[in-house]
Every structure is written in C-alpha cells, then in structure tokens.
Amino acid sequence: MKYAGVFLVGLTSLAWGQEKPPIAPPPTQTQSERATPQPVAPATVTDTQALTFAPQKIAVRLPLGWQVLPVATRQSGTLASLAPLGTSGATLALSYADDPTRTRLPDNLPATIATALGKRYPGFQQTAKQRLALAGGDAWVLDGQVRPSGQSVVVKNRQVYLCHAGRIYIFTLTSKKDDFERLTPSLDRMLKSITWLD
C-alpha cells in the first residue's frame, strides 16, 4: 500500500516505512518569517464552496481565504493543494490511497512516519501525536517540525491520517512556525466539513 504525505511543500511517498525521493525540494524562504495577513478578496474561496472527489468518495469545504493551487501529478496521490492568501510558504494538502483490507491505522504509524521523515529531513522532530475517532473513521494526528538546512526558519507540520472504509486520506498543513497556530483552525474546519460520498 502506498500513500503520500506533504511536508515542506514537497511530497514524500511512503509505503509503510519505505520512502521514495521527493517530487519537489523544500522551499527557500527569503521573506521575513512573519507574513502580514492580507484581506480576503471577494473572488476568493469561501467556507461554502466544496471540493468534491467522487472517485475517492470524499468532499470537503474550502477554508475561508485559501486558494486552490494546481496539482502537478495525480500519481503522487495528491487530490488538492491549497495556499492561504497573504501568507508565503504555507500549504494545506489532501492526499489519498486505497487499502481495501484496512479498517484502522497501524499502532506504529507515528514511529514509522517520524523515522521516514527524519531520514528525509535531518533534524525532523515529531512533537505531538494523538489517536482519535474522526468522521466515522480511525485517525492519527501527528505534529512535527524541522529547521531546513541553511535556513533560520523553523517549519511546522501537522499530518492527519484518516482511515475510512478501506481508504486512507492524509490532510497536511505545512507552514513557518510563526504562522502555524494562526493557520491550524483552517485545517480543523476542513476536517469538520468531511462528507463521505458512499
């Protein structure tokens, strides 16, 4: 089984501990660490607009003030990539993988993910983990952070792995540390908006 999680705006494909090279390298940050939030323009997405993925049997609402980015390849498992208006270097992504035999996530998932990301991003630290029931499925919420080589910016990451009816979904928020707490409510709203298309 393969599934993809997004970290540092690049994609790392994981096959229960086996990793592949990233599709995109970590970004370099040249702007100040704290971006000034910009007003949301009327033409931007709202919480009433939905992203629907019929083949993957899920729909979610777009967070207010976020824009949809083009997805480079469907082979990565990425269904959607979003970026907040007025904040550079942040993404919110939804990825997907089929696993018809699985009804819950493995108990060792946090350790597996931490090991894989630690190999890929030296200095990566898993800072929190929590297992919970979410939208009728089994979920792990994993937080981590890393200081990319040669940069002064600390990047934080929250990955929510959700298993529902033999399908794995990964919601990933990645941002600079200074923006992280301000952006996590957007991920929370997206998770609360999950609708299954079974």
Domain extents for the chain?
A: 3-17+47-196
Q: How far is CA 31 from the centre of its chain?
A: 23
Tens-binned pLDDT, residue by residue, of the chain (198 aa): 233 333 323 323 222 233 332 333 333 333 333 333 333 333 344 455 889 999 999 999 988 889 998 876 555 688 999 999 888 889 999 999 888 888 999 999 999 999 999 999 999 999 999 999 999 999 999 999 999 888 899 999 999 999 999 999 999 999 999 999 999 999 999 999 999 998
The confidence score (pLDDT) of residue 31 equals 34
The confidence score (pLDDT) of residue 86 equals 84
Residue 113 in contact with residue 126, Cβ under 8 Å? yes
Structure tokens at 194: 């999950």
The confidence score (pLDDT) of residue 47 equals 52
Instruction: Report the alpha-carbon distance of residue 58 to residue 119 in Å, rounded.
Output: 32
The confidence score (pLDDT) of residue 89 equals 87
Residue 21 in contact with residue 164, Cβ under 8 Å? no
Instruction: Check: pTM over 0.85? Answer yes or no.
Output: no
| Residues in CB range of 183: below 8 A, 6 or more apart | 84, 87, 90, 92, 173, 175
- In CATH terms, is domain 3-17+47-196 a member of 3.40.50.1820? no
The confidence score (pLDDT) of residue 75 equals 52
The confidence score (pLDDT) of residue 10 equals 30
